[in-house]
A and B are shown apart, each in its own frame.
Chain A
Amino acid sequence: MENMVNIKINDKEYSVPANSTVLEAARYAGIDIPTLCYLKDINEIGACRLCLVEVKGARGLAAACVYPVNEGMEVYTNTPRIRQTRKTNLELVLSAHKKKCLTCIRSTSCELQKLCLEYGVDEDHFRGNNNEYPLDESTPFIVRDNEKCILCRRCVAACKNMQGIGVIGANDRGFDTHIAGAFERMLGETSCIGCGQCVVACPVGALYEKDDTAKVLEAIADPSKHVVICAAPSVRATIGECFDYAPGTDVEGKMVAAIKALGFDGVYDMNLTADLTIMEEATEFLGRFKEGKNLPLITSCSPGWIKYCEHYFPEFTDNLSSCKSPQQMFGAMYKTYYAQKVGLKPEDIFFVSVIPCTAKKFEVTRDHQNAAGVPDVDVAITTRELARMIKQAGIDFRALADERFDDPFGIGSGAGAIFGATGGVMEAALRTAAEVIEGKPLEKLEFEDVRGTEGIKRATYVLGGAEIKVAVVSGTANAKKLLTAIRNGEEKVDFIEIMACPGGCVNGGGQPTQPAVVRNNVDLKTLRASVLYTADRNMDLRRSHENSAVKMLYDEYFGHPGSHKAHEILHTKYVKRGLN
């Protein structure tokens, strides 16, 4: 039994866990206290003064997000004094905020805007310094507009505490305080990995993905271009949130229908190349394991993780799987094999991916990602950008009838589907590796030990008489912990899956933003992942090596997994980057 205390919230009695904050306790009373800086498990600094409450007997107002409950405490959350103070504090925040709300990318999903409306603030009550800052567009993935920044420091905390990176911080003081790199370096000059966790933490429009939708729309309008798109496993599990579906709603059919309505020449399922990745990666692992070379093998699907490894753990780049990510494999395969098959020129193909990720925008620009002599993927757009295109086109998403991905690349297995959740790649690889080694079907396909949102998961399996130690990591701070232990010889692992974002792609930096009131109270990672595990469970095809489209690719083109041709087209190289 948890230790409980009795408190009163707005004169009503509640029994709440003794280790709660007032903010958490208020949920028992069905009250959401507003927060602009607080974000559960990420930023707990009591700075924005929006969550102020009255505590009987306390000297001033208390910041609910960091104020612990105690026995007999009496709290008021909605008095005239609180309403007036919150309103004044909002007006002070607005005094230094660029109020370009009409055209702001976060208009209607802005946490500040919502509170200002609720509290009826006068947006011009105070006038602050309104310093001018240049727009930071120095990376291919993230844009920072410091004139809209409200200095909540959620992005700083996400980068430093959650991801263990810390390329941004608060510089200077007073009105001059601003968030930037050390020595005013633009993001592109730092060792930023592009994970975008800062973007999904931002309550306002100060951080957003670099919007590439114009390039896609231009290509669609160009009759000389063959424009196709493939959708990453997790996008169907999250894009519904942009159309008022509850988190954890599978909208695959509607998503496909909406994309088709946008006018693409082909709409494909990236689960297929997730399966293809498994064929190559499982083969690579078995080869390395047999030779005892470059172990542990570390997965390479997450471009944020790859960039992290190259910057922060360059001694592990030989351990990375040489497999391209499913996104890049798809473009590479399409512009080589399929272009030849149907008589298209690679340069006439405009290949788009929709992904949950900002770092993928960097991945498309990397070297050794151009199998047909042109970039494998032309543009990577995030879940949010696709939703924006659908809305702009006037497509009534919720009213659409379900449609299916196009042949011949519309087939993905359940193993491919779970790529979008932490542990999914490992489980998919184990299903295939186990059956290849044992030469017979698995009795149980689920590898439960590698599921769940814990930051580091470990398991040991016996395959073909040999013991294989695996680890699954999500969030780069956790990667840092595990790799440091391996480097120091404290831990030995054979095969590691690493995803840059905590929880994996379902919680990626390109996913729909959710306000603090949702993120503080709902386990988004688990809810979204459940869509993928449910889809896997309901499928007949649950093993990558049984995917008929994958078999067709090997039969008609690649020969066998790990073949010379596969290496030419589906594999890549890494670099060692400096630390900035």
Chain B
Amino acid sequence: MKKKLTSVAFNGTPEQEARLDAVIAEHKGEKGALMPILQKAQDIYGYLPIEVQRHIALGMDIPLSEVYGVATFYSQFILNPKGEYAVAVCLGTACYVKGAGLLMDKLESLIGIKNGEITADRKFSLDATRCIGACGLAPVLTVNEEVYGRLTPDMIKGILDKYN
């Protein structure tokens, strides 16, 4: 399946670019350096849009396709920016059998974006996560650091209203 890619405009700063350049310079010519560079780039920008990946490809003199291949192979890398409120629904086994899929459906219809997307105003982003270790509260979702447990679909609107 092809990943849904963000249409939100890149808004990197010169300061961020200088930090990325320093990371690239530090690892230049080093074998296997792409992973740590991508990790640090994600620390700097929060995600890895095409502008950042192209900058890395040019800096390391490797094809962009190779950078993108690594960035999409590992789930630790994210290609789309997170919203001001990052909503994450746990789709681990326990949450899933307790109906987390229904929570996701409800969130998608209420926020108006799909899993993995961000709203145009960058307020909300929506993601599915693996088990977050709160199985006792299943099904669980988080909004940034806040955890909400033992949920049913009709509770979703109330949660979102707190952030609107």
Interface residues of chain A, those whose CB is within 8 Å of chain B, are 131, 133, 156, 160, 165-173, 176, 178, 180-184
Contacts and interface: CB of A to CB of B under 8 A. Distances in A.
Interface in B126-147: none
Contacts of A172: 1-3, 72-73
12 contacts: A131-B1, A160-B63, A166-B63, A166-B64, A167-B65, A169-B65, A169-B66, A171-B72, A182-B64, A182-B65, A183-B68, A184-B5
A168 B3 contact: no
B69 interface: yes
Nearest to B5: A183
B37 interface: no
A131 B2 CA distance: 9
Contacts of A168: 65
Contact of B69 (A131, A133, A170): A170
Which 9 A-B residue pairs are closest in the complex by CB-CB distance?
Answer: A166-B63, A169-B65, A182-B68, A169-B69, A182-B64, A182-B65, A172-B72, A173-B73, A176-B1
Interface string B44-79: 000000100100000000111111110011000000
Nearest to A172: B72
A170 B67 CA distance: 10
A182 B50 contact: yes
Given A133-B2, A169-B68, A182-B53, 9 more contacts: A131-B1, A166-B62, A166-B65, A171-B68, A172-B1, A180-B2, A182-B65, A182-B67, A182-B69
B65 A173 contact: no
Given A160-B63, A183-B50, A171 B1 contact: no
Contact of A166 (B3, B50, B53, B66): B66
B65 A184 contact: no
B67 to A, nearest CB: 7
Contacts of B69: 169-171, 182
Contacts of B62: 166
A187 to B, nearest CB: 11
B49 to A, nearest CB: 9
A165 B63 contact: yes
A181 B50 CA distance: 12
A172 B77 CA distance: 11
A282 B73 CA distance: 51
Contact of B72 (A160, A165, A173, A181): A173
A156 B64 CA distance: 13
Nearest to A129: B1
A184 B3 contact: yes
B65 A181 contact: yes
A160 B68 CA distance: 14
B29 to A, nearest CB: 16
A57 to B, nearest CB: 32
A286 B69 CA distance: 47
B41 to A, nearest CB: 15
A29 B50 CA distance: 51
A184 B2 contact: yes
A181 B63 CA distance: 10
A176 B64 CA distance: 19
A190 to B, nearest CB: 8
